[in-house]
């Protein structure tokens, strides 16, 4: 389905034309009409499916068309991380290029005083769209810097990530400040019970849109090295000596390993950078800028980059260690093979991570190709199949749950009545 077949206004369509966006992705095709019709929406889709546009486009179209108050925050978009907030803000600038009357401000922590004052000015002037991380937004609310009583749209992006990071209390305090008739939209990559519970609390009779997720793109060639932990740096050395590797992300769950790999690559004169929690926010911004601009060939990072970062030209993703579960694996390797490009994903499977990787293979429905260790590295651990433990389905992998959410949409009991479909909110 094409964007021009929707009821998005002409200014939005002109911006999409300039950006060479023509066909909608499945999540956009199913969400945009529902949001335009005033439904609350619960969207289940992984990163890279186009969900940012799925909620931004219909909201911006309505803000541009509608008679919304100019001195109020009309839309709040919640993001779990500063990096994702910046990405949403960038998308906002592109989609809203022809929207002269629609303004936005991004609010997130880790900035200097100048940035804080900029945020404050934007909120006091009544920015139409507020893109924020929970902690920073709550701090502004506590000191009375903004009023959400006239907000018309609320978006909770990467909800599963929000909960994993412990933001649930902050989110609920923010939601308490919203008016009852605020249209609410929630996106999550997965649907564990805690997300279902949150949806029941936040949304009013939502339309549930679930896109088949968590399967890596077919264009990603997946392979794995079965090895012992001390052999991993040697494999890294082998890979980078074997070819001129560019546009590479190396993921590890531990910042110490990120530092070790970075040191090894720099010793080899590889043009690389690192991203982890020990860096200041300014340093992280500079690292991301250099990598996105192509000034850095290789980025070694913790999982802070696994979700929500749009970089279209990544050629190789290397998992220095096995992710905790299949969902994290998909998010990691989903950084490559984007925008119709081919990609490669390589995972280092240590002897202690064999069973975890077998669970990922079970979810994928196939065995990932095993690459023999390079000559001179010694023997590899035996990759033997292990029996599942009894009654461990829910403990050992989110992918084992049997989804029947479409038939069992929990509906919120609210005193305001049924809001499953209502006209767009207009205020003078």
**Domain spans in the chain, listed from the N-terminal domain onward:** 3-206, 220-370
User: Which pLDDT belongs to residue 421?
Assistant: 40
User: Which pLDDT belongs to residue 189?
Assistant: 79
| CATH ID of 220-370, from 3.30.460.20, 3.30.428.10, 3.40.640.10, 3.40.50.300 | 3.40.50.300
Q: CATH topology of 3-206 equal to that of 220-370?
A: yes
- How far apart are alpha carbons 274 and 320 in whole angstroms? 14
User: Which pLDDT belongs to residue 113?
Assistant: 57
State the fold for domain 3-206. Rossmann fold (3.40.50)
User: Which pLDDT belongs to residue 334?
Assistant: 79
- 184 forms beta bridges with 154
User: Which pLDDT belongs to residue 119?
Assistant: 79
User: Which pLDDT belongs to residue 425?
Assistant: 40
**pLDDT tens by residue, the chain, 428 residues:** 889 889 999 999 999 999 888 889 889 999 999 999 999 999 988 766 788 999 999 999 999 998 899 888 999 999 998 888 888 998 999 999 999 889 888 888 765 556 777 777 777 776 899 999 998 899 888 888 888 999 999 999 989 888 888 899 999 999 999 999 999 999 987 777 888 899 999 999 999 998 865 567 778 899 999 999 999 999 999 999 987 788 999 999 888 999 999 999 999 999 999 988 788 878 888 888 899 899 999 999 987 665 556 677 888 999 999 988 777 788 788 777 666 677 899 999 999 999 989 988 988 888 999 999 999 999 999 998 654 443 443 333 333 333 333 333 333 333 333 333 444 443 33
């Amino acid at each position: 389905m094409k964007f021009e077949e929707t009821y998005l206004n002409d200014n939005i369509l002109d911006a999409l034309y300039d950006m060479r966006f023509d066909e909608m992705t499945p999540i956009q095709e199913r969400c945009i009409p529902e949001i335009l019709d005033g439904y609350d929406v619960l969207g289940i889709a992984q990163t890279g499916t186009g969900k940012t546009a799925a909620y931004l486009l219909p909201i911006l179209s309505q803000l541009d068309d509608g008679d919304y108050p100019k001195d109020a925050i009309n839309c709040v978009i919640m993001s779990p991380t500063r990096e994702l907030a910046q990405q949403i803000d960038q998308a906002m600038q592109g989609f809203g290029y022809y929207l002269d009357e629609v303004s936005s401000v991004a609010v997130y922590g880790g900035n200097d005083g100048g940035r804080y004052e900029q945020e404050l000015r934007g909120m006091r002037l009544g920015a139409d769209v507020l893109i924020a991380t929970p902690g920073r937004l709550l701090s502004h609310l506590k000191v009375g810097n903004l009023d959400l009583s006239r907000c018309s749209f609320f978006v909770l992006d990467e909800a599963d990530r929000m909960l994993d990071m412990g933001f649930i209390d902050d989110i609920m305090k923010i939601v308490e400040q919203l008016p009852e008739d605020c249209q609410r939209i929630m996106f999550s990559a997965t649907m564990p019970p805690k997300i279902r519970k949150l949806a029941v609390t936040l949304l009013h009779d939502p339309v549930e849109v679930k896109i088949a997720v968590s399967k890596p793109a077919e264009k990603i060639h997946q392979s794995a090295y079965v090895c012992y932990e001390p052999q991993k740096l040697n494999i890294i050395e082998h890979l980078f000596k074997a070819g001129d590797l560019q546009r590479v992300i190396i993921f590890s769950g531990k910042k110490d390993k990120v530092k070790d790999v970075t040191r090894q690559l720099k010793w080899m004169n590889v043009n690389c950078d690192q991203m982890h929690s020990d860096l200041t926010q300014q340093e992280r911004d500079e690292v991301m800028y250099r990598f996105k601009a192509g000034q850095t060939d290789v980025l070694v990072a913790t999982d802070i980059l696994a979700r929500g970062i749009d970089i279209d030209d990544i050629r190789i993703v290397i998992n220095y260690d096995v992710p905790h579960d299949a969902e994290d694996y998909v998010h990691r390797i989903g950084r490559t093979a984007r925008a119709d490009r081919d990609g490669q994903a390589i995972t280092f499977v240590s002897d202690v991570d064999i069973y975890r990787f077998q669970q990922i293979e079970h979810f994928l429905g196939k065995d990932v190709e095993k690459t023999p260790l390079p000559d001179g590295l010694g023997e590899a651990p035996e990759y033997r199949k292990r029996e599942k433990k009894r009654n461990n389905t829910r403990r050992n992998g989110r992918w084992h749950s049997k989804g029947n959410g479409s038939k069992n949409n929990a509906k919120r009991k609210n005193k305001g009545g049924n809001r499953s479909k209502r006209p767009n909110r207009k205020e003078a």
